[in-house]
Structure 1
Amino acid sequence: MVSTLRAILSAWTGSVAQAIIAGAGRLVSPRVIRLVEADDGGFAVEAAGKTDNAPSRIAYADGALSGPDLGPLFRGKRVEIVLQPKRFLFRPLELPARAADFLEGIVRAQIDRLTPWSAADAVFGCTAPVAAGSDAISTMIAATTRKVATTYAQAIAAFHPSEVAILTDVEGHAARVKVFEQSARGHLDAARLGRGLQLVLGITAVAAVLSAAASAYVASSLGGQEEEVARQISARRAAIRAGADGGDRSPVAALERRKYETPASVIVLETLSRVLPDHTYVTELRLAGNKLQISGITSDAPSLIPLIEQSQHFTRATFYAPTTRAPSDPGERFHIEARVEPKNTLGAVAP
């Protein structure tokens, strides 16, 4: 999935880069520098418009151009190299008139028959088709090897032009024929621009994620603070209402009622220690609300019920489990349950 996404992103950024370059090319057409080959192998320079310090002739030897100020002359320009016809092979070709729209493809398919080279090894161009009868057209093909074209193009590419084209003159035709063209790596490079777009997208995505995380954190923090403030406001309002009500509805009165309505564990323990005889041992005590459960060992379990109910703190005393006696026990094992009557007052522990 990652590879697929990377391929989709690369294709998209490449398309955008090509569109940007194409748009820039339409808005700003590069200046044209034309090099016309002379008989001695050098080139005469033809520049469109005014070019400061431009040489009139450039020497060419061993695949390299030499001359003064060639970098400023070619950089960012469209360079057209016009080679002499002697470097090309010319072949006339007649085709049906309806083939005019597919002329280049038809010639490419037949280039190995028209020239000594294959389609991969040859570069070619065609003159504008002219009528040759009622239902036919004729054109002149100019072809040469790809090596010849790329040798001259590479000599120019070292000076970073925007485009390089190879042309030649065809006898009997006013317009020159273009046999080769390539976009050199100039100021706007599609691959470099595509990588730049990917970098910008990556930075934008990271910034968006960080912004979303920061927004979520700030929102959570503000939400917590808002809830705390609301809770404090509610508590303050409740305290104000409780203070305004006064009397039995105040918090102090509620605590006071709870104090006297809830059995005190200390008083329950103190009372049990007073009412139970010395031969009775409590092994477990549970106090849940106003319900008391005790378990233990005694020598006379039935006598405990009246003793517990005689206290003003306990009522409804009863056995909630059978009384048992094991051979190893020193007495009867009892389980008694009683209701506790809260009497949390001074002197409540008196028998």
Structure 2
Amino acid sequence: MSIPGQIAAALSLWIDSVANTVSARLERARGAQQIAISEDEEGALTLRLVSKASKDADLPPVRIGIVDGAISTPLSPEWSAAMKGAIVDLALRPSRFVFRPLELPGRAVEFLDGIIRAQIDRLTPWSPAEAVFHWTPPQPIADDHVELTVVATARAAVTSLSQALLDLGATAVDISTATPGMERIAVHHQRIGGQTGSSRLRFALIAVLAIAGVPAILSIGLGGIVTDSYDAEQQQIQRRIAERRAIARGSQGGPGGSAIELLARRKQTMPSAVMVLEELSGILPDHTYATELRIEGDKLQITGLTHDAPSLIEILERSPHFASAGFFAPTTRAANESGERFHIETRIKPQFGSGT
């Protein structure tokens, strides 16, 4: 997926999440009846009222069974009436879920949804489309890293349960579970009532983002055009200076100087892959392993494993052969890898050696 496509997908997920959250809170504020359902070790569900209407004040908890994702025990008329228009909090057993610890650099917190979504098929038996998942709040650890736990299960397993409750008349179903540390975490939200409100909130958020984003995009676009124009002009001036110097040296070097000056100019203006590899082998630390190198024009992209990714930026910046180093993708750390997987891009200075 292209970068604009990834941005659009992330914005869509954020808008849906905000719209559903705000809509659910508005429903609770309007006094919608709330029902808490918990699953016991035998797989049965226990229903109890959390917020009670006056007519349901004496309604006792009830235990029902489920078979293949469907409710096998019919509800009493009183509970069927209480279920109409209610918001259901369904707490499932942790054994239905997989829990995967994950360690990431602290700067990756801003991109958690995209990072976890991209790795969900490696962390769990399911693809992103087949799973519902969420994660615990990131906790800081040593070396400016954070750790969290990804909680996931099969989408079909939970949607069948939530749909069964919606079919009984519930307005919305929130599904959660308890992590090994007994922390409650919500992994899925499904609703049928209030769809119009969610849609209106979604359109309102899109309109606000559009109004605020258009001037910002125009500003960024104009800034990029101006910057590119200055960069192109600077490169053209540098090429002209190099050509003038080559011509001046050629006129002083006699009849045989033109071919030599042509080679010298080529050496000064074209980056050498051999020299790039030689320079990298000399400056990269022993704990750093490059798994992929790509040279496109004067840009070098390096991918690999290291124990300290931020320090590589400073090392490359100190080299006389590289400039403008930075990360072009988030740095990640998987549980089965000994180091951080980094993605760094830097500009290769065209002149290597003494300038001869």
TM-score bracket for this pair, using the shorter chain length: 0.3 to 0.5
Based on CA coordinates, which of the two structures has the bigger radius of gyration?
A: 1
TM-score by length of 1: 0.45
